[in-house]
Structure 1
Amino acid sequence: MKYKSKMCVRCGAHPHSRDTGPSRAVLSIHWCSPGVRFLMDLNSASNVVIQVLTQASSQDSTVLKPAAEQLKQWEAQTGFYTVLLNIFTNHSLDVNVRWLAVLYFKNGIDRYWRRVAPNALSEGEKSALRAGLITNFNEPVNQIATQIAVLIAKVARLDCPKQWPELIPTLIESVKVEDDLRQHRALLTLYHVTKTLSSKRLAADRKLFQDLASEIYNFACCLWNHHADTFLQQICAGAEPAALSSLERAALSLKVLRKLTVHGFVEPLLNTETMGFLYAVFDRLRQFLECSRGIGVEHVCRERMEKIIILFTKVLLDFLDQHPFPFIPLIQRALEFAVSYVFTEAGDGIMFERFIVQCMRLIKMIVKNDSFKPSKKFEDSKPETINAHQIKMSFFTYPTLTEICRRLVTHYFLLGEEERTMWEEDPESFAVEESGGDSWKYSLRPCSEVLFIDIFHEYSQTLTPVLLDMVHTLQGPTPLEDLNALLIKETVYNAVGLAAYELFDSVDFDEWFKRQLLGELQITHERYKLLRRRVIWLIGQWVSVKFKADLRPPLYEVILGLLQDQDLVVRIETATTLKLAVDDFEFRTEQFLPYLESTFGLLFQLLQQVTECDTKMQVLHVLSCVIERVNLQIRPYVGCLVQYLPLLWKQSEEHNMLRCAILTTLVHLVKGLGGDSQNVYPFLLPVIQLSTDVSQPPHIYLLEDGLELWLVTLENCISVTPELLRIFQNMTALLELNSENLRVCIKIINAYIFSASPEFLQMYGASICQSFLQLLKDITMEGQVQVLKVVENVLMVNPDVGPQIFHALLPPVLRGILDGERYPVIMSTYLGVLGRVLLQNQGCFSSLLNQMSQECNQEVDQILGNVIEMWVDRMDNITQPERRKLSALAVISLLPSINSIIQDKFCGIINICVESLHDVMTEDPETNTYKDCLLMSDNEPQETQVNENDEPPTEQDKRKRMIALRDPVHSVSLQHFVYDKLKTQQELLGDDGFRSLMETVDTEITKQLQEFLQRF
């Protein structure tokens, strides 16, 4: 029989339950009771939490989840973090329990340490915790020690120095002790505290960090020098364990100095200690590099030595980035150091890739830094800038630049054995190796190429003859048996491609293409693939720089051949060059059409042959570009791709970026197929459904491209199918997101309105209206205009049903007009919406006036008068001729009328009409008549395309034209409409009454009106 007891009414715990399973056994003492605040002693509370932390580190989810929930309930309770501190500082406990304890403590700082946070820790508890955190720096486990250091840094960010003035002095005293472990942990903590405090950017915080830097900088320098000297002595003496320990301390103290130096001084140039340290960095770098020469790759200190060497270079790079002018005295030494190690024999035997990259970055930053470049008016430049420029000019002499250029090209551009092996064993990875973004900062080949581009750009007059000389020596075919000659030629061609823009006036590329490059592409030998790949890449670099149009057919011939090359890397590179050629401004469709079928087929074969996700994406982008540029001409050739894409979509279920590429391809495919795209709906529509369904996890990656595909599909559909109509169920949730995709969502709604208005409005009109009501409350002015334009389109396409469905949106529009909406664009849109109602559904307009009359407790006529008055006053807000004509048609449609208010406002109505007549009427000198330029006729041919590259009209363009033909703005002559309305008003009032009415109009306006109405 189970022992029963009452549950705690505050937290639901069973204080004495003995048979509640492992996940509840820990609740014998519960945190909601006063005992937690602390009637129980610390040890008892610690035992309770240790049990839960033990369960929370379990691999069994049935044990872990309840424990995690319990910890979550406790984390806001008083005393919880004191218990956690007690646990993770108890070295006798299990490491996993202590690890979890420190993580929970660290995460709690973000949530509960600030005074304004909900359930914030009390000042008393925080004070006790701060004292406990720096009592002992003797944590034996490295990972936990690091977490404690980060934890202390998080507290320091919030409390140091005001609430925690003793932190830095305590750390410095602890760093001075003889105990190795305590010294290391204190130094580790000092680094994380310094790093965190240096990242604060408010002016007051930066001032505090600068004060800290000035106080401890000398100590930090001495500490660093001591540990660096100790390491060098110990490594020479062969005391490896001790040397490793000293090296670790030297690295940590250098990390502290890096933050202090870069962020701790407003004018570091005036601080002798700072500049002294920076000069010393070069000496220390040489010492450590020479030391590394004497120890083997397998030495226990080798890896950490390389890390500290890189850390030295980071100090220089960071200082140059943040303080370019104070770096000027260091330019000469920095260039001498970097160039000597990277471009002379001085670096032989001690260089490693990451260090070479860092040195190249240092040279690049000095060469490219805008602070070191004088303005066009040399004399207007700052003295410091002129000084830096002169230092650079004196260093970068002709011999130095020549040596840098030649070594970059013939040494660092050279394809190494490892890369050639990768070409053979993993050609796809080799072909699509990442080279964009910031990869140049970490990889040798991209870094050397970026440095070459920058130096060549800066010193092109000097280096152009050097590079052309290298090209000249390589003319003619290269012996197949001479691998080194093939490799050198490959690097020179690489350089010519990278410097294409700089060589524009110096290289006759068209002649070179015909005389040399075409021939090299015909050499099919296996070893010559190095040059086939590089030459086709080179042509891709030049095709948008300098390449005659009449050479494109020979280029397409070459591309066709290379897409059938036996080497996959060559085929992939050729596809990339094809994209560059097709995507160029000079591309002409008629030149490419003879090659389209074969090229497209070969690209499709390549897409099937490659297996890696990145490669498939790359080839898909090429296919997309081809489809986009040839447009409708692609239709006969896409059958194979249409059949393959569903399989590729299924295979890419775990690769969302590949699916994005497929979506992009589908966008261009649908545009190319136009109305024929309906044949691919069985695959296309489920793809759109998945990509735009916010309840499906992949939408995070696919939504943007999925929305574009949805829109393009609607624009090109002949008619909206039931399946396409059903997808709109996704739209309500998308509108609720109110994200940057709102503009596309609005376009999609408009496309449905133009495509299938009656069925669409019947199914979704009410939900759209509700979504719009919510949206209008919290979107930008531009967003409001876009939403209201949808309403206007509904009223234009379906003037009978539209006002009923969107009736809830009309009163706010009318209120906005009556209140004198101050934003002209929104007022113009309001008047457009109301103009549609007034012109095309006067029954709805009357109903709207009656509703507003009841709301405002005013007469209907008074509201009508205010509307007309506001319309006249804000007519200038309306800028588009179509909207201005709509306003004129709307207000004149109030005639004929005997309503006194309308007659009172007659002058304003005529003013609007005359203004609009001036906007839309054009004079025909031959017939001496006026013609409404906005009128459209079904017999008139549609506008011809401006040029062959313009996209043909979509199905939606055709639908919009048909709708426009029915729209009064484009189907009713304003001149005739005004004449008819005035004539019927005259018949209603009689000649005398009408004459009296016209006398209320300004004489000049009357003359202009007569001018328009007499010349039909």
Structure 2
Amino acid sequence: MDRDGFIKLIANTLSVDNIARQESETKLNILTNDANYVKMLIDVIGDVSLDQSVRLSSCLLLKSVVSKSWRVKDSPYHTQKPQLRDALLLILANSNDKSKFNLKDNISRIVGEISRHDYPENWSNLVTLLIEMFEKSLDSGVKKVALNTLKYVYSQVASRKLRSKDTLNQLTLDYFKYFVNYWQLSTQYLLESQKQLSLVSVDGLDILQFHSKILRRVMQHGFTKYQESPEIAQFFQKILQFLQILIPQCVEQLNSKSEDEKDVVLVDKYLKLILVNQKILIKCYENEPLQFVNYLPMTLEYFTKQIVFYNPHGDTLVASNMEALLSKPLIQAINFSKSVIDSKTYQKRTLDDFDEYGNYETEPMSDIGQKSSMNTGNDEKGNMIDKAQTNITSFYTFDCLSGLLKSMVSNLLIITKEELELWNMAPEEYYVEADAKTNDASNTLKGATYECFVILMRHFHKESFEIVRGMLEHVTKDTYSSVVSDQSILLKESCYMTMGLGYAELYEKINFSVVFANLFVQELHSTDERFKIIKRRILWLMSYWSPIPESQRITVLKIYLECLSSPDLVIALTAADSLKAFVDSYDIEFEEFSPYLETTLHLFLELFHKSVEDDSKVNLLSVLSSIFLKSQENIKRFSNVILSLFKSLWSDGLASELLQVSVIRSMTFFIQALNGDPSEFNLILIPMIDKSTKTHQVMLLEDGLELWFHTMCRVSVVSQELVQLFPNLLSTMDRDVEHMELCLKILDTYMICGRDDLFRVFGDQIVESFYYIVGDVLDDQTPTITKPLMRIIQLFPTQSPVLLQKILVKVLDNLLTNQDLTPLAKTEFLSIFSRLITMNPMGFCQILDSYPLSTENADLSNRSQIYSKFFTEYFENLDSIATSDIRKLTAIAMCNLLPIQKSEIIELIPSIITFVVGMRADINQSEFQIDYLEDGNKLPDFSLVDKQNNQIQKSDPVYNIDLQTYLSLKINEASSINPQIQQIIQTVDKTILQLAFPK
């Protein structure tokens, strides 16, 4: 293809015309087999006269080719590789190319990808060429491109896990020696230039940043023994010295200029330089914590000083500069400190330290630090852990903690001017963000501080308590003063926050009841507008207060109701959150809350009308759900009002997904609380279930299924509308394994309530759905599948062998041939056959007789082998049966085998009798599940599901058979059918035979 036609094809890949774009992509895909394809792409990339979008598109096409086929030895362009590599470097070195950095960055990435395969074997001079490009070029853009490419080359070579490490080791040493030297010279020059800011070059900062990025990768991926290298130790020290001088100088220089004079670009460059150099230390610590132990004191000192240095108060310019330059580095500093203090690597763990879920909570550092100082031994790892603990506890002295915690409270946790403006301008946004910030430590300054404060309180509880108590005494001493400054109020709010953050450590040391009565009540009733932040914080604190003394509960409740009616939405919404904690408390009885229920609901309805944001409404619905569960059937008299609210929020299914999910969830709690017949709410219930179970939106589907299940459990009759919903269930089962458990619970309710009609209409679809999931679901979901299959056998004992034949054969095949079947899956699958044998013994034989004989597996080539293999699995897994009801089911099934006149079963009679006698002692009828709901909650008397379930249980052998009597009956039945069986029975141990027959 000619060059112009090739360029046109590439340009068309950017076309908005789908047909033209697809045609061009198809033709280009064919051209990938052309020997000149890669050469032509590089030619387009290097042509500075072309549109940058065409060059960038060519770049992306080249990246795809290199990624897929560069390593292939017989690729069409294999012989051209040396020329292609040289051409790429020429493009990077072209100082006349003023294209955007994004284009050159992609070329650098391509060179890096090629180096992964070709360096050093086929491109040994690559690094030398790139360094020459950096050193000899007079163009700063080319210098940056060269460094960027060197960065990608190292990253790619370091990622070659299966290649020799010699190449990486040598490259690491070469990179470290070269770039550390340049880094030292550049940082020294920068600090000198800082004295006269006009001398600082943006390009110089960029180049130093690239050197720092390269060194970060070298330190993280090339070295592990940080403590064994004097050069590394010196480098770490120089990083800290550089940053300790740079940051204050930057702030001072920025503060000397007006807002109009401030160079925003320069601030951004400084910020990135600080971040990447701090990241070198952080990544080395994360990479090898035990090889960073010697550097902990100086690194912790640096980061702690940075936290204490940060001061956003003062004039607007100073605060703005602090925020712009230091907030992100400060997040790194706080998260590093938090990680070191709470490090699991710096703890000596045993298996006993882990909980049943494999989680491990670190022991307070102040406790283990004392132990480590007394430890001696030759265990190198243990000694390093001891040293780490000693370093940490020695660093965090009382004075250090005092300065750190006070700085956090005064400068980081304190409400900012911007937050107060947000409160006034958009109260709901403030309400939502105030909590969201403290739950996202990785991205926000306040969130990181929040978590670090909690960790400091836990690890240094004794010292931290004294410090927090001192702060609280300081901010509360002027409570009764007539003149309180704005800053004092802000500081008090921040100090009050510490009571919540350190709740676990302060609970037994601060008498919250006294503080509430003597201090908080007065402040909650303050008429000073500025005290709104104190009121919100007190309400937030009250949600941590548990148990609330009985004598103060009514006072607390009245305060909540008073604040719910506040015209300030932040106060009202926070009061709602705290009310939820009050209502959820096990100590609070409904009788205490009952007189205020109507008022509470009225205030909530008003709050819903005031709220605009979905996030606020979602939180309010969560509180309402708690009120429903606390009130139970007492909520019924407010049904009309609540249903009207739900209809309004649901908005015919047009509300946002977030709000729809919350309405459905709250509706589910409402149905559970009422525990009446939900059919009266069908006008809203059916549309909710219908829409939510037709969707692919995971949360909406999950909550919709939950609502459907609780509705089906409580209806007195299955209405036509509920029947019409059933296809939604089948389609969900076919497409979504994740929600299979809920789907099968709903299916069970339908089977119980309308077995004959259901299977007449949907039987084939139900069986087909089961067939495709049996044996293919995750191990822990196997019980979810077996229960409904056992239910079908229970409901249709005669028809099951035919109805479920292909499913049962598939289950049998898994048992006989699947070597990877887990013990849980085996036990569950065998329980299906226990149910079948219990309900229809000959049907069981019918299934085994229909299993196809194998021509490939000699162990399953005749019918006797199939029976033998099945019963071997059956008997070997008896000890794995976990529940009494399945043990009894299995014992009854074995009894039912006794009269069957098949030689393969007759020879098992002694084993069957022995096993049944042995299993009787392990069956405890009181453990059987009687109630339909697994959580033990009672369904209403008119519940069709409950009624039908009770009837099924009455006729179920597991519930109505006396096992000892049944065993003797079946032994006698077998003997009467075939007298020879009596002789076989006599081979059973006499003691066991005596136990087999009732006295």
Aligned to 1:306: 271
Of the candidates 88, 93, 102, which is equivalent to residue 45 of structure 2?
A: 88
Letter in 1 for 2:153: V
Aligned to 1:134: 89
Equivalent residues, number: 941
- State how 1:715-794 maps to structure 2 within 5 Å: 715-737=713-735, 739-794=737-792
Letter in 1 for 2:995: Q
CA gap 1:206/1:635 in 2 versus in 1, 3 angstroms: farther
Q: Distance in 2 between matches of 1:340 and 1:814?
A: 68
Q: Distance in 1 between matches of 2:290 and 2:836?
A: 67
Aligned to 1:106: 63
Letter in 1 for 2:46: T
Is the Cα–Cα contact under 8 Å of residues 12 and 21 in structure 2 kept in the other structure? Answer: yes
Aligned to 1:431: 431
SS at match of 2:90: coil
Q: Distance in 2 between matches of 1:162 and 1:252?
A: 26
Aligned to 2:146: 186
The CA deviation string for residues 136-169 of structure 1, in whole angstroms up to 9 with x for no partner, is: 3234222212222233333334544444433322
SS at match of 1:507: coil
Cα deviation for residue 517 of structure 1 reads 1.7
Q: Distance in 2 between matches of 1:229 and 1:744?
A: 65
CA gap 1:336/1:591 in 2 versus in 1, 3 angstroms: same
Which has the higher mean CA deviation after the structures are superposed, 172-181 or 674-683? Answer: 674-683
The CA deviation string for residues 231-285 of structure 1, in whole angstroms up to 9 with x for no partner, is: 5566666756x81111111111111112212332121222233222221122322
TM-score (norm 2): 0.84
Q: Which protein has greater RCO, CA pairs closer than 8 Å, 6+ apart?
A: 2
Structure 2 unmatched ranges of 5 or more: 347-364, 377-381
CA gap 1:871/1:443 in 2 versus in 1, 3 angstroms: closer
Letter in 1 for 2:801: P
Aligned to 1:518: 521
Aligned to 1:321: 286
Q: Distance in 1 between matches of 2:231 and 2:224?
A: 14
- State how 1:890-929 maps to structure 2 within 5 Å: 890-893=893-896, 906-915=909-918, 917-918=920-921
Q: Distance in 1 between matches of 2:755 and 2:82?
A: 68
Letter in 1 for 2:501: L
Is the Cα–Cα contact under 8 Å of residues 898 and 970 in structure 2 kept in the other structure? Answer: yes
Aligned to 2:361: none
Q: Distance in 2 between matches of 1:282 and 1:902?
A: 80
CA gap 1:233/1:674 in 2 versus in 1, 3 angstroms: same
Q: Distance in 2 between matches of 1:470 and 1:513?
A: 17
Is the Cα–Cα contact under 8 Å of residues 813 and 834 in structure 1 kept in the other structure? Answer: no
Which has the higher mean CA deviation after the structures are superposed, 735-744 or 750-759? Answer: 735-744
Aligned to 2:128: 169
The CA deviation string for residues 860-915 of structure 1, in whole angstroms up to 9 with x for no partner, is: 89987997787667655555443343344445446768888776655455445544
Letter in 2 for 1:403: G
The CA deviation string for residues 822-862 of structure 1, in whole angstroms up to 9 with x for no partner, is: 86655544554334444434564564465359899999899
Q: Distance in 1 between matches of 2:205 and 2:898?
A: 94
Aligned to 2:661: 660
Q: Distance in 1 between matches of 2:620 and 2:735?
A: 34
Is the Cα–Cα contact under 8 Å of residues 437 and 444 in structure 2 kept in the other structure? Answer: no
Aligned to 1:965: 954
| 2:364 corresponds to 1:380 | no
Cα deviation for residue 536 of structure 1 reads 0.8
Aligned to 2:233: 275
Cα deviation for residue 650 of structure 1 reads 4.4
Which has the higher mean CA deviation after the structures are superposed, 70-79 or 894-903? Answer: 894-903
Cα deviation for residue 486 of structure 1 reads 2.2
Cα deviation for residue 315 of structure 1 reads 2.4
Q: Distance in 2 between matches of 1:881 and 1:712?
A: 27
Which has the higher mean CA deviation after the structures are superposed, 761-770 or 826-835? Answer: 826-835
Q: Distance in 1 between matches of 2:915 and 2:589?
A: 49
Aligned to 2:464: 463
Aligned to 1:5: none
Aligned to 2:500: 497
Cα deviation for residue 228 of structure 1 reads 3.9
Return the index of the structure with the highest Cα Rg. 1
Aligned to 1:555: 556
Is the Cα–Cα contact under 8 Å of residues 183 and 208 in structure 2 kept in the other structure? Answer: yes
| 2:213 corresponds to 1:255 | yes
Q: Distance in 2 between matches of 1:797 and 1:331?
A: 68
Q: Distance in 1 between matches of 2:498 and 2:843?
A: 72
TM-score (norm 1): 0.82
Is the Cα–Cα contact under 8 Å of residues 590 and 631 in structure 2 kept in the other structure? Answer: yes
Q: Distance in 2 between matches of 1:338 and 1:862?
A: 72
Q: Distance in 1 between matches of 2:525 and 2:447?
A: 29
Is the Cα–Cα contact under 8 Å of residues 292 and 305 in structure 1 kept in the other structure? Answer: no
Letter in 1 for 2:273: I
Cα deviation for residue 438 of structure 1 reads 7.0
SS at match of 2:441: helix
CA gap 1:616/1:191 in 2 versus in 1, 3 angstroms: farther
Is the Cα–Cα contact under 8 Å of residues 84 and 101 in structure 1 kept in the other structure? Answer: yes
CA gap 1:888/1:638 in 2 versus in 1, 3 angstroms: same
Which has the higher mean CA deviation after the structures are superposed, 747-756 or 275-284? Answer: 747-756
Cα deviation for residue 984 of structure 1 reads 5.8
Cα deviation for residue 786 of structure 1 reads 3.8
Which has the higher mean CA deviation after the structures are superposed, 174-183 or 674-683? Answer: 674-683
Q: Distance in 1 between matches of 2:345 and 2:873?
A: 57
CA gap 1:818/1:386 in 2 versus in 1, 3 angstroms: closer
Is the Cα–Cα contact under 8 Å of residues 849 and 863 in structure 1 kept in the other structure? Answer: yes
Cα deviation for residue 803 of structure 1 reads 3.4
Aligned to 2:489: 486
Aligned to 1:537: 540
The CA deviation string for residues 405-457 of structure 1, in whole angstroms up to 9 with x for no partner, is: 33332333332222211110011121111546873344332333333333333
Letter in 2 for 1:166: N
Cα deviation for residue 468 of structure 1 reads 1.9
CA gap 1:93/1:227 in 2 versus in 1, 3 angstroms: farther
Q: Distance in 2 between matches of 1:916 and 1:491?
A: 64
Cα deviation for residue 567 of structure 1 reads 0.8
Q: Distance in 2 between matches of 1:897 and 1:398?
A: 81
| 2:360 corresponds to 1:360 | no
Is the Cα–Cα contact under 8 Å of residues 578 and 622 in structure 1 kept in the other structure? Answer: yes
The CA deviation string for residues 153-203 of structure 1, in whole angstroms up to 9 with x for no partner, is: 3333454444443332221121111322322211122233334555x3837
Aligned to 1:508: 511
Q: Distance in 2 between matches of 1:235 and 1:902?
A: 93
Q: Distance in 1 between matches of 2:337 and 2:910?
A: 76
Cα deviation for residue 490 of structure 1 reads 1.4
Letter in 2 for 1:360: I
CA gap 1:702/1:202 in 2 versus in 1, 3 angstroms: farther
CA gap 1:90/1:978 in 2 versus in 1, 3 angstroms: same
Aligned to 1:145: 104
Q: Distance in 2 between matches of 1:74 and 1:646?
A: 59
Q: Distance in 1 between matches of 2:292 and 2:932?
A: 62
Is the Cα–Cα contact under 8 Å of residues 631 and 951 in structure 1 kept in the other structure? Answer: no
Q: Distance in 1 between matches of 2:616 and 2:210?
A: 42
Cα deviation for residue 541 of structure 1 reads 2.6
Of the candidates 869, 883, 888, which is equivalent to residue 885 of structure 1?
A: 888
Cα deviation for residue 634 of structure 1 reads 3.4
Aligned to 1:951: 937
Letter in 2 for 1:281: I
Which has the higher mean CA deviation after the structures are superposed, 994-1003 or 746-755? Answer: 994-1003
Q: Distance in 1 between matches of 2:626 and 2:29?
A: 52
CA gap 1:878/1:463 in 2 versus in 1, 3 angstroms: closer
Aligned to 2:13: 56
Q: Distance in 1 between matches of 2:903 and 2:303?
A: 90
Aligned to 1:410: 410
Aligned to 1:621: 622
SS at match of 1:405: helix
Is the Cα–Cα contact under 8 Å of residues 690 and 728 in structure 2 kept in the other structure? Answer: yes
Is the Cα–Cα contact under 8 Å of residues 748 and 791 in structure 2 kept in the other structure? Answer: yes
Aligned to 2:607: 606
CA gap 1:844/1:92 in 2 versus in 1, 3 angstroms: same
Cα deviation for residue 734 of structure 1 reads 4.1
Which has the higher mean CA deviation after the structures are superposed, 135-144 or 877-886? Answer: 877-886
Is the Cα–Cα contact under 8 Å of residues 438 and 446 in structure 2 kept in the other structure? Answer: no
